[in-house]
Amino acid sequence: MHRREFFSQGAAWLTATAGLQLAGCQLKPALPEAADWQALQRSFQGQLLFPANALFSRFAKAANSRFDAIQPALIARPKLAADVQLVLAFARQFQLPLVGRCGGHNYAGYSCTPGILLDFALMDQIELQGETAWVGAGAKLGDLYFQLSQQGRSIPAGSCVGVGISGLTLGGGMGMADRKYGLTCDALLEAELVTVDGAVLRCSEQQNPELFWGLRGGGGGQFGLVTRLQFRTFPTAEVLSCHAYFQFEQALPVLNLWQHWSRQLPRELWSQAAFWWTEDQRKAPVLQIRVSSLGATKELQQQWATWLRRLPAQPFEQDVVLHDYAEYMLSDCAGLEMAQCKLPHQSEQARLRRVAMAGSSDFFRGAMPKAGLDALLDAVRQRQQQGHSGGILLTLMGGAIRDLAHDDTAFAHRAADFCAQYLVSRPVGTAEKELQQADLWMGQMRRTMAPWSTGGAYLNYTDPLLSNWPQAYYADHYPRLQRLKRQYDPGSVLQFSQSIKED
């Protein structure tokens, strides 16, 4: 960068930070001077983007457009762990807020900051060594599925290609392979972490095991910045995918049968029941039942045929499709190059769209009694009749998720049979008032379902309005996570509204 350009960009940064102080953020007076920026720039191997840079506003935004107003003062895109050390030291020296970002999908905008955004996008290397994969902290799920499946391997992870491996793994990681191969964090063998004091630690069952425990479900941005992750992989197999769609009037007996039937399915089979509805009050919500199998196609064919025979009501539509593994996992990328199969903040060639969204979750143990199902259906009906769009997804858990004991990792919901996700996803530009109304609906859903739910919530479906979030996300693991926070981030350099508190 030329000196003149640097200074003009540095000036823009200073203007931004002055705005920050006015906005009441906790910046201390010692702002960096031009010489400090130059020193950082000289040693940093990756890319530093200041507000004047043409790419700045593209990379500043996260997946959820609700947080577009939170503009970072600087985007640092590290190439090496040493870059992360440098930026952490810089942030500490000048007491600037700092957050990490991988996929930028956090529901509550926790990878947005008015300070330094450490965007791991350039650290996205994926390398398969035998049956384990080393994955850079900036890799997105689409790239992982694409690259690993070319070598006949994969890892258990989520369904959306733009989600980042770091946030997903650190918070748990659910997906269609979890009943067979465990959560994403269960497949984690090692993580390289830069702590706030600049130490680069290897974390595994053997090295720094307590920290490793906390990284498997304790959440992103809590104890340091992860730079590399090593995973156990599994051999890919064909995916048989069955769908059936039911009218809303038939939902009660179908859902009831589904929750009993699905719990006895073999672990190769994954299933989800979902209600979707639009704001069009004339169109009743639809119940979708999905079952997929990773291999075991004969088993699923038999199970599906039995299930259809036992059904009290017939679906108005159904299909059974056999997919190649990569085609199934990358279905959002159909017709796109991988660089295009990204969200705008992830690639200059991106073609996927961002949304404005709100979400929350619940966990359930065992099948819900009729009163619980009635309450759920009433809530869906009411919301739809009020003219609001939305979705509720009940995802089957169990299988390999229970192969680890409750205390083996920080993820606190292994005993649950179902995870419910409450979701409102709207186009970019939707009025914040409407989205805040959706936030309130999430809380209302949790209260409605409280008599039957565990009270837990999935950290990766972050709900910024959860009242007792330490208990809901972490249950009895919270005190242990607090000890880790005190040990590895004393003074809470890394903080956001639901970051683990030291006391």
**Amino acid in position 206:** Q
Neighbouring C-beta atoms of residue 180, cutoff 10 Å = 21
Residues whose CB is less than 8 angstroms from the CB of residue 501 and which lie 6 or more positions away in sequence, other chains included: 470, 482, 485, 492
Nearer to ligand FAD, 20 or 88 (CB): 88
114 belongs to the binding site for ligand FAD (CB under 6 A): no
Residue 315 binds to ligand FAD (criterion: CB under 6 A): no
User: How big is the chain, counted in residues?
Assistant: 503
Pattern 460-499, ligand FAD, x by CB under 6 A: x---------------------------------------
Is 390 among the residues that bind ligand FAD (CB under 6 A)? no
Query: The tokens 């992860």 sit on which residue?
Result: 226
- Our finding on whether 104 is near ligand FAD (CB under 6 A) is yes
**Site for ligand FAD contains 220 (CB under 6 A):** yes
- The residue within the footprint of ligand FAD, chosen from 114, 115, 136, 173 (CB under 6 A), is 173
Q: Which is nearer to ligand FAD, 104 or 390 (CB)?
A: 104
Site for ligand FAD (CB under 6 A): which residue of 27, 121, 137, 269?
137
Sole window of 145-153, 155-163, 247-255, 304-312 interacting with ligand FAD (rule: CB under 6 A): 155-163
Contact 400, 241 (CB under 8 A): no
Rounded least distance, CB 108 to ligand FAD, Å = 9
The DSSP code sequence of 301-322 is HHHHHHHHHH-SS--SEEEEEE
Backbone dihedral angles phi then psi of residue 481, each to the nearest 5 degrees? -70, -35
226 binds ligand FAD per the rule CB under 6 A: yes
Q: Of 166, 241, 288, 361, which one interacts with ligand FAD (CB under 6 A)? A: 166
Identify the residue among 17, 111, 448, 495 touching ligand FAD (CB under 6 A): 111
Query: Distance between CA 232 and CA 187 in Å, rounded?
Result: 5
Long-range CB pairs of 141-144 (<8 Å, 24+ gap) are 141/103, 141/165, 141/168, 142/330, 142/332, 142/333, 142/338, 142/341, 142/342, 143/338
- Residue 452 CA to residue 449 CA, distance in Å, equals 6
Residue 200 near residue 228, CB atoms below 8 Å: no
Q: In the bound complex, what is the minimum distance in angstroms from residue 35's beta carbon to ligand FAD?
A: 29
- Told to check if 63 binds ligand FAD by CB under 6 A, we report yes
From 102, 135, 296, 442, residue interacting with ligand FAD (rule: CB under 6 A):
102
Rounded CA separation 113/221 (Å): 12
Number of neighbours of residue 413 by Cβ within 10 angstroms:
25
Examine residue 120 and tell whether it contacts ligand FAD (CB under 6 A).
yes
Interface map 359-388 toward ligand FAD (x if CB under 6 A): ------------------------------
Residues that bind ligand FAD (CB under 6 A): 63, 99-107, 110-111, 120, 137, 158-160, 163-164, 166-168, 170-175, 220-221, 225-226, 460
